[in-house]
Amino acid sequence: MIVAFSVAPSGGPGTTDSVHDAVAAAVKVVRDSGLPNQTDSMFTTIEGDWDEVFAVVKAATEAVGVFGSRVSLVLKADIRPGHTDEMLGKVERLEKAIIRSES
């Protein structure tokens, strides 16, 4: 399973237009999990089994919760039982398809 998610605080004292400290807390939880992951400017993507991934998403959401009175969570999941290493595999297959289309 691959899950891409974005989590951010809102409302309450101490919240500002910038959420980088809150996002950093969430990303640290993800990285400390040991599961394959990557972060870009919009989402953090994590790969593992259902229970592992959602435990990490929950912990990351809770880490952000200390930065505001509300938390916004956006999540997209690719649930494909029996497949692993798809975070990189999907991109590799895409790149090969692009090369073929250019030939």
What would the pLDDT profile of 22-41 be if each residue is shown by its tens digit? Answer: 999 999 999 999 999 999 99
- Domain total in the chain: 1
Q: Can you tell me the distance from the alpha carbon of 103 to that of 92, in angstroms, rounded to the nearest whole number?
A: 17
What would the pLDDT profile of 2-23 be if each residue is shown by its tens digit? Answer: 999 999 998 765 555 678 999 9
Encoded amino acid at 37, one letter: N
Question: What pLDDT is stored for residue 10 in this prediction?
Answer: 85
What would the pLDDT profile of 43-69 be if each residue is shown by its tens digit? Answer: 999 999 999 999 999 999 999 999 988
Cross-strand pairs, 39: 44
Q: Residue 15: which domain range?
A: 2-102
Give the predicted TM-score (pTM) of the model.
Answer: 0.86
CATH of the domain at 67: 3.30.70.930
